[in-house]
């Protein structure tokens, strides 16, 4: 590139001395050599340096359920995993290894009633774009039979009551903390006594039993989530009943700071001994719903006898949608 020439800094060469100059001509003017500055092309504009890009993490965050096989059950994704895989995903979430917190949901006829394709529930739905990702587990014989019909493979029932003891075993072994949200205030002492007896080394971050008006208030729920975060909770067991617990997790779960949020319904009452679980042979026969209906008919009759049959019909409609992730 040719440099720009500036006339004001050109040097002017001295004129050559004449061969013979008489004394009488010394006063004559001596012509100077005229110098014409060279014309240079304009300089090219200087491009600004590109902005520095942020460093790329060695292992970018991703959703923990990426690649997990699923089928549609009444319009709801249900992940097909065994207990070992489910516990591994919950452990990863508790260690905050995912891009988003992990909400763990039991898929049963009650869930299809509230969140399925033909749901008449006008409340907030839960979706893949929520601030939490969802791990949807088989809960109940109809869902397990549906998954086997679509895939030809047997997958286990993984209800919250089945998983809670292994989850607490895992939390004790890894040192992560567990909090419980829900249940009546009077079960608190029995819950702490059970945890102290069966999991003495478990870090219990707290047991929150808010009034319904707090849960129904956005500001009250946000304050509750902040309190749970301040307690340093890694796994939050949310026992508010369907559909409130799933909707609360979708709206406020990320604010709790917990990596795993388990929508486990009546688990707090099972742990505290307030409600008895069905005998194993009844559960294996797919009749745990009848056992619970016998124990709590006023609370559960509508769920099992009125809402359940239409949800079962929705489940039986032909569908072949399945995938990974």
Cα-Cα end-to-end distance for the chain:
57
Flag whether pLDDT at 10 surpasses 60.
no
Residue 82, SS3 per DSSP: coil
Contact 126, 247 (CB under 8 A): yes
Higher-pLDDT residue of 284, 40:
284
Cis peptide before 243 (omega within 30 of 0): yes
Token pair in block for residue 254: 């990320």
Q: C-alpha distances in angstroms, 42 versus 3, 4, 45?
A: 9, 7, 9
Contact 263, 245 (CB under 8 A): yes
Q: Which of 149, 143, 67 is nearest to 105 (CA)?
A: 143
How far apart, in whole angstroms, are the C-alpha atoms of residue 253 and residue 250?
6
Q: Per-residue pLDDT averaged across 139-144, rounded?
A: 90
Higher-pLDDT residue of 27, 84:
84
Q: Find where tokens 């769920």 sit.
A: 303
Flag whether pLDDT at 296 surpasses 90.
no
Model confidence, pTM: 0.76
| Domain locations along the chain | 84-315
Q: Helices marked H in 95-243 — which ranges?
A: 109-115, 141-151, 160-174, 188-198, 212-215, 218-230
How far apart, in whole angstroms, are the C-alpha atoms of residue 265 and residue 57?
38
Kindly report, residue by residue over 266-287, the tens digit of the pLDDT: 999 999 988 877 788 887 777 8
Q: Per-residue pLDDT averaged across 26-36, rounded?
A: 44
How far apart, in whole angstroms, are the C-alpha atoms of residue 246 and residue 111?
10
Under the banding of pLDDT at 50, 70 and 90, the label for residue 230 is: very high
| pLDDT score recorded for residue 42 | 59
| pLDDT score recorded for residue 241 | 92
| pLDDT score recorded for residue 303 | 80
């Amino acid at each position: 590139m040719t440099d720009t020439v500036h006339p004001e800094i050109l040097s002017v060469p001295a004129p050559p001395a004449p061969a013979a100059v008489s004394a009488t001509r010394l006063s004559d003017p001596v012509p100077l050599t005229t110098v014409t500055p060279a014309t240079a092309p304009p300089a090219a504009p200087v491009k600004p340096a590109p902005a520095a890009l942020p460093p790329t993490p060695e292992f970018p965050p991703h959703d923990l359920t990426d690649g997990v096989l699923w089928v549609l059950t009444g319009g709801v994704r249900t992940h097909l995993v065994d207990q070992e895989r489910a516990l591994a995903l919950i452990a990863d979430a508790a260690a905050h290894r995912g891009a988003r917190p992990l909400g763990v949901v039991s898929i049963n006829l009650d869930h299809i009633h509230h969140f399925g394709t033909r749901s008449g529930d006008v409340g907030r739905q839960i979706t893949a774009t929520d601030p939490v990702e969802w791990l949807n587990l088989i809960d109940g014989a109809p869902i397990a039979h549906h998954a086997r019909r679509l895939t030809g493979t047997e997958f286990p029932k993984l209800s919250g009551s089945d998983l809670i003891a292994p989850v607490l075993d895992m939390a004790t072994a890894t040192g992560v903390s567990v909090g419980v949200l829900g249940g009546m205030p009077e079960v608190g002492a029995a819950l702490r006594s059970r945890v102290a007896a069966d999991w003495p080394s478990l870090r219990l971050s707290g047991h929150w039993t808010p009034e319904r008006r707090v849960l129904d208030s956005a500001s009250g729920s946000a304050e509750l989530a902040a309190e749970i975060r301040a307690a340093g909770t890694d796994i939050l067991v949310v026992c508010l009943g369907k559909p409130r617990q799933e909707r609360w997790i979708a709206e406020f779960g990320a604010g709790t700071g917990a990596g795993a949020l388990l929508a486990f319904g009546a688990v707090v009452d099972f742990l505290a001994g307030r409600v008895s679980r069905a005998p194993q042979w009844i559960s294996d026969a797919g009749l745990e719903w009848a056992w619970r209906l016998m124990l709590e008919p006023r609370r559960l009759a509508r769920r099992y006898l009125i809402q359940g049959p239409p949800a079962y019909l929705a489940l039986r409609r032909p569908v072949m949608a399945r995938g990974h992730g």
